[in-house]
Amino acid sequence: MKKISFAIVTVFLFFSCKVVSFTEKELFPGAGKPSANPVDTEVSYLNINGEQLETWTYQQDSPEVFIIFFPGNGGLTSGHAGFFKDIARIYKAKVTTVNYRGYGRSSGKPSVSAIEKDSTSVVRKLSRLPQNSGLPLIIMAHSLGGFAATRVAGLSEVSGLFFISTFTTSQELAGYWRKSLVPWYARPFIRIDAEPVVLTLDNISVIKEIYKPIVFIHGKKDDVIPYSMAESLYRACPSVLKKLVFLEQADHTSLISNPEHRKFLIKSLSFLMDYKTR
């Protein structure tokens, strides 16, 4: 009976082959949504490559370190505010985060090329402001933000890097999704047809050239980006000042959204504070 059922399913799938399309636009699901209005937040705008990018800033008096945070493709939410405030308070830091083009109140439309170009401009512009000049700079990034972070990792202004739930390459990630979301018997009948640019995101090739202090942190219950990718990034990085951290119960977003998981993440940031000299 099982063999007959399997045969019927196979025939059905064969005659109903599916193509799952994935466009560049779908990389940015948070674009176009109303911006959050976090309390006690300094909101300002940077003129970057002809667009106005919204930034949020949190800081202590006389900060000792400057942190730039690149968010995931869901964009910034009010839930991020507490996370940034805690970091600023615990480490006597200035934390600035940016909404990509088309996110929140930022102008323009998001794209892979825009993230590549804008991330470098953002870091250079912010780090050279008089109030930030001379402060050691740490880049933090979550998920897709890791792609922005690897674009700026080699800049002389950057002292250290902190990756949260980040992928190796988008091509490898697409393969993982195909295997994890599609039953094995259906895979021959399902084709993921992605725009070429979607499969060009590559973090691991850059990580192989980074010798700066660096931390990779990942939740073991992450079903969006597998924690094995954090292991791959860690192994590929030649830095002697590197750390790999897992949290057993954390998923893709809870390292930031869950108060207990957030404490664990923020504590892990202390590794970079020991090497934050510019």
Q: Which residues face 67 on adjacent strands?
A: 95, 138
d(CA 60, CA 85): 9
Sign for the CA dihedral angle at 132, 82, 145, 138 comes to positive
Question: What's the rounded Cα separation, in Å, for the pair 255 and 161?
Answer: 17
User: What are the structural domains, with CATH classification, of the chain?
Assistant: 31-168+203-273 (3.40.50.1820)
pTM above 0.85, yes or no: yes
For 14-73, how does the pLDDT look when each residue is reduced to its tens digit (9 = 90+)? 445 555 556 888 889 999 887 777 878 999 999 999 999 999 999 989 999 999 999 999
276 — pLDDT class (breaks 50, 70, 90) = low
What pLDDT is stored for residue 2 in this prediction? 44
How far apart CA 118 and CA 122 sit, in angstroms, is: 6
pLDDT for 59 = 93
3-state secondary structure of 248: coil
